[in-house]
Chain A
C-alpha cells in the first residue's frame, strides 16, 4: 500500500502523451503522481492502494470503454470525499453540469493550461481534506448517536423491567435522554431529560447531567437534589459569562422530569422542571396530569421547584419530552393519545407516519407502578387535559381535539359511538366549566378519555372543583318533556348517551363509558 500523502494525485488519461504531460507538470510542482490509462486501471489502483492514499484525481472525460464521468459516479458511491477534476475536449461544456452533480471540484478544457491545472489541483486537495475532516466528525456523531440509542435499550436490571421507553431521534445525536436509577431501599428512579439544542454540545450536557445524576443518586441524593444541584451549575457556572464570554454561545437549559417509585408501598415522588406534565392512568381508567410544571433547569437559581408526592399510586405513569407536545400541537390532538399510539405501534414494530411532521426528538416513557412490573395497562390514555375554567367559549375546538384523539386511535369507530361520546363529554365539560368553575380562569376541569382494549369501550372522566349538587334526574325527565322545561336537560342527555354512568362527589366528578359497538 502507498503511504498516505496529502499531495498524491491520480491522473487518468488513455492518451500517453497527455498523461505524461500532466504527470510531468504536477511532479515539477511537488505533487506525487500515479497514472492510470483508463477507468478500470484507476479503480484497481484506488482499491489496491486505498482511497485515503489519494488527495485528488485528474481524469480525462472521453476514454475508451468507460468515461471520466463513470469514474466520478463510482467514486461517489465508494469514497465521495476525493476531490476530482474533469478534463474535457473543447466544446464539451454541457458535460460540466453533469460532472458537477457527480461532485467534480473543477473542470478544465483541453489544451490544459498548466497554471490553471495547479490551482484546480490545489482546490481539489483542499476540498478532499475538508470532506475527510467532516466525515470523521460525522462518523463521531453517528457513533455518539448509536451509543445514546444503545443506552436506551431494554433495561438490564430486573427492577427496571417495569419501564418501557420509546425514542425517535430526529438527529444523529442530541440531548434527549432517559435513565433508570437504582435508589436506596429498593426504590427506583426514572429520569427523562431534554437538553436545549440538537448538537454535540447538547449531547455533552446530557451526558454530564446523566453522569451526575447517577453519581449523586448512588450517594443517596434524591432526584430533586440532583435537579437543584445541576440547575445551580447551569445558572451559576455555565450560563454566567467568564471574562466577558459565556462558556457556550447560547444559554443552556434542561427540561427534566424525575420520578422516584417505591415498590414496597407504591408511593411516588415527582419533580418536574420544564418537561410536559406526566399522566397517571389508574387501573380503573381515570387519567390525570400529575405534578406541577416548574421552570427548566438553568433558568433560575435557587431552584424553586417542589416535589409532588403521590401516596399509594396505582396504574401506569406516562411521560414524554416536549417534542411530542409540539407534534401533538401540529396534529391538533392530545400528547397522551400520541404516546398511546406510539407505544402501540412500537409493540407492532411500526414507526408512525406522522413522525415525519416532528421537528424535535420524540421520547416517551411508561412506568408500571403495580406489584406486577410487566402488567399491561387495561386502559390507555387517548386524551388527558386540564381545561381552564373560563374555556366554555372554546368548547367547539376542544371537542374537535377530542374527536381527533379518538379517531387517531380508532379510525374505524362507528359514527354513533363517536357522537354519543363527544356530545356527552361536551355536556359534562360545559357543566363543569359553567357551574363547577363558575367561568373562573383560576379553576380547571380535568378531563380524560381512555380506551379499554379488553372491553372495547371508552371511559371518559370529567371532574370539576365545585361542590356538585344532588338532582333527581329520573323524575325530572318526564316533567321536562311534558312541561317544556329547559333546566337540567344536559343531565338527560348524559344519562341516555353513556352506556354506563357513574357520579362521584354529588356529580362534580362524572365517569361515563361508551362501548364501541354503540349504545
Chain B
C-alpha cells in the first residue's frame, strides 16, 4: 500500500496494489491504522482521502467492510472518501451495496 499526502490540495492519496479480500484485509487494516495514526497523516490538513483500487479485480464483503470502516474514520475527521475503481464488476458491487451513497465513486478508466 502506497500513500502520498498533498497538504496544499488537502488530499491524502492511497493506492492499493490489488484485490481487497478476506485473505488480506487484516494486513491492509493494520497498514491503514498505522498510516492514519502517523504524525504526518493525523496532523495533516487533508479533507479528502482518495482510495485508488483501480488495480483490483475483486473486492469481497470483508474487503468492502474494510472500506466501510475507512469511511467511518474519514467521516469522524470531517473529511470525504473518494474511491477510484477500474473494474466494472467491482463498481457494480459498490452500487448494489449502496456505497455510492457514502463515498464518491470515480471510474479510473474514464
Contact = CB atoms under 8 A, between A and B. Distances in A.
B99 interface: yes
Interface residues of A, number: 27
Given A481-B101, A492-B96, A496-B96, A430 B22 contact: yes
B71 interface: yes
Interface stretch (A119-127, A164-172, A258-266, A392-400): A392-400
Contact of B61 (A420, A477, A484, A490): A490
Interface centre among B68, B72, B101 (most CB of A within 10 A): B68
A416 B58 CA distance: 11
B77 to A, nearest CB: 15
A379 B84 CA distance: 40
Contacts of B68: 484-486, 489
Contacts of B72: 484
Interface centre among B88, B89, B93, B101 (most CB of A within 10 A): B89
B102 interface: yes
B23 A396 contact: yes
B97 A489 contact: yes
Interface centre among B60, B65, B71 (most CB of A within 10 A): B60
Interface in B38-75: 58, 60-62, 64-65, 68-69, 71-72
B30 interface: no
Contacts of A493: 60-61, 93, 97
Interface string A480-517: 11101110011011001100000000000000000000
Contacts of B62: 489-490
Contacts of A395: 21-23
B21 A396 contact: yes
A475 B97 CA distance: 13
Contacts of B69: 486
Interface of A: 392-393, 395-396, 415-416, 419-420, 422-423, 426-427, 430, 477-478, 480-482, 484-486, 489-490, 492-493, 496-497
Interface of B: 21-23, 58, 60-62, 64-65, 68-69, 71-72, 88-89, 93, 96-99, 101-102
15 contacts: A419-B89, A420-B89, A423-B89, A426-B22, A427-B60, A477-B98, A478-B98, A481-B97, A481-B102, A489-B97, A490-B60, A493-B61, A493-B93, A493-B97, A496-B97
